[in-house]
Every structure is written in structure tokens, then in C-alpha cells.
Amino acid sequence: MSKIFLLGLLFLFVAGGWGMLALYESRSTITTPNRNDYVRLHILANSDSLADQQMKLKVRDAVIAYLTPLVKNVKSAEDANSIILAHQGDIIKVAKQVVSVYDVEYPVTVQIGQFNFPVKSYGNLTLPAGQYQAVRILIGKAEGQNWWCVLFPPLCFIDGSKVATAPISGTSDDNNDKQPKIEIRWKITELLSSLSK
């Protein structure tokens, strides 16, 4: 092989390495969002009984249907949080109306503040573990499986009569979200492999 060819291969190898490094850094920037840019919704059921879990999902539907129009055009998490705080009493009323349909005497508590969350994925968005501004709705003893999504920016919303599939539900023990595996290939290796054939 000539020296010019080898120098060309070396140049391609170095340029490819720098390109892959830049791509990796840009991807890692995307997957580490600022926790202050989000307001989350967290609903805890009374228990794991079928009726209590169904009730939790009905409360979820009603609260999302109520809150989404209020925050959908908001520009910041701070503004969304202010709107939610101003409507805290109404959120309690909405949740209690659902619970009353089930003919039970469960209390409903709404907490608004900073709460710990595990790492969670919503489609292509992965939120790291840590403290987030959130609305927590505690139904009864709040000892059952829980459900969460992101209120702002709106990643949980109602589509007709059902919740859209964008949010991924789970319990605090549900850490089975798999990250897609990135396969790195060097073009130079493929080129050399094709030349040797």
C-alpha cells in the first residue's frame, strides 16, 4: 500500500473518531434534562385491590382532563406550578368526585412540592432520578401501586375517552425501562474489511 493511501486511512480514522465523540456528547446532553423544567403528576392508590387500582386510573383521567387545558400553553415549569397551586382546591374536588362514585369513604389529599422520583422514560425522553416539582394525589391510605406522568411539558393527556399512550405508568419498584443500545461501528474497519475480500 502507498504512503498516501495509509495517510488517507489515518485521516479518516481520526476524523471518524472526532465525529463519534461529538455525536456521543450531543446525545448525552439530550438525555440529561434539567429537573427544574418539569412538573410531574404522581397518584397513589389506597391499595392494590382491583377496585382501588381502577379508581386510581379514573382519578388520573379526571385530573389530567382538568389540568391539561390549564397548562398546555404555558411557557415555563414555574408558571405551570403557579397555575396548579392556584387550582389545588379544584384538583381535590375533581379527585373526590371520582372517589365518591365508588361509594367509599377514602380521604383524598393533594400535595404540591418537591418529591423524589426514580429514573423514568417517557418515549424518547429519560428523566434522571432526583427531586422534581410535582403534584401528588394520595387516595385513602395511599399504600397501593402508584402512577405518574409529566404535567409540564404535557406528556400525559386524554385522547377522547382514554389516556394517550405517551406516558409510561409504573410503580416505584418498576425500574425495568431499557435504554436502547447504541452500536458503534468504525467506517474505517468496514472499509478495510471490504478491501481484504
Residues 88 and 20 in one domain: no
131 is a domain residue: yes
Residues 73 and 155 in one domain: yes
pTM over 0.75: no
The 10s digit of each residue's pLDDT in 14-64 is: 666 666 666 655 554 444 568 889 999 999 999 999 999 999 999 999 999
Residue 132: exposure state from Cβ atoms within 10 A (0-12, 13-18, ≥19): buried
| Res. 128: pLDDT tops 80 | yes
77 is a domain residue: yes
- The per-residue pLDDT for 184 is 47
- The per-residue pLDDT for 106 is 95
The 10s digit of each residue's pLDDT in 160-195 is: 334 443 333 333 333 334 444 444 455 555 555 555
Nearest to residue 138, comparing CAs of 40, 48, 42? 42
56 is a domain residue: yes
Residues 96 and 24 in one domain: no
Peptide bond connecting 153 to the previous residue in cis, omega within 30 degrees of 0 = yes
Average pLDDT of the residues of the chain: 76
The 10s digit of each residue's pLDDT in 89-118 is: 999 999 999 999 998 999 999 999 999 988
